Amino acid sequence: MSGESLIELHNLTKTYGKGDAEFKALRGVDLNIRIGEFVAIMGPSGSGKSTLMNLLGFLDTPTSGSYQFQGIQVEGLSKDQRSLLRRHALGFIFQGFNLLARTSALENVELPLLYRGYSQKQRHELARTALASVGIPDKTRNTPAELSGGQQQRVAIARAIVTNPGTLFADEPTGNLDSKTTLEIMELLCRLNSERGISIIMVTHEDDVASYAKRVVRVKDGLIASDQLNSNRSLPSH
């Protein structure tokens, strides 16, 4: 399916507040992303990149403009319809991991399956497979407090991919990690993209993290300032 359209934005705007308090976070964004791409979205604080990410992930709605996700007109959907689409089509990875503190790695990964009504046996099986695929098959019983930052992010990635989504949204996925662990996590994301064909859209302010993406989109003052293929791309070492 690679090469088909995943996301099409036409003149997308987002305005917060009214009158003197009005703030135009996005001023008319045009963006196309194809299935199977690994795209980094960059920009300074206040540029609109986080607003753009929230719109792309169905967490917010645009003020005006058009957003098509695999042919579905997103801005016309109800809140419940957006929630359903998000649950079935997307996986999310966050800077702060967002793991349940008193819950084992296995149970954390099982959560999205619980919401979908899978049996306990199915949940265990799929969660173990997901943890193995991110390189920590032996950490099923550990709570987040018993894991390193890198291991916690691997659990979070396993949770994001356990439902086999076609698209992953990664919001500063290495923001809390040291440089060695950052390298490991970025190589893992590259493998998920190349081996499993998962589309990845990642927000980052770090050039070395963005260097793993196939394409870098820079946002400034609510507009796309540049959109370029990454000619100096960092590739996994194995």
pLDDT at 115: 83
Query: Domain extents for the chain?
Result: 5-229
pLDDT at 238: 55
* Number of other CB atoms surrounding residue 220 within 10 Å: 15
d(CA 93, CA 72): 23
DSSP 206: -
pLDDT at 1: 42
pLDDT at 73: 95
Residue 72, SS3 per DSSP: strand
CA-CA-CA-CA torsion for 12, 61, 78, 202, nearest 10 degrees?
A: 90
Residues of the chain with pLDDT under 50: 1
Record the pTM.
Answer: 0.92
Architecture of domain 5-229: 3-Layer(aba) Sandwich (3.40)
d(CA 93, CA 78): 24
All residues at 6 or more sequence positions from 229 whose CB lies less than 8 Å from its CB, including other chains:
214, 215
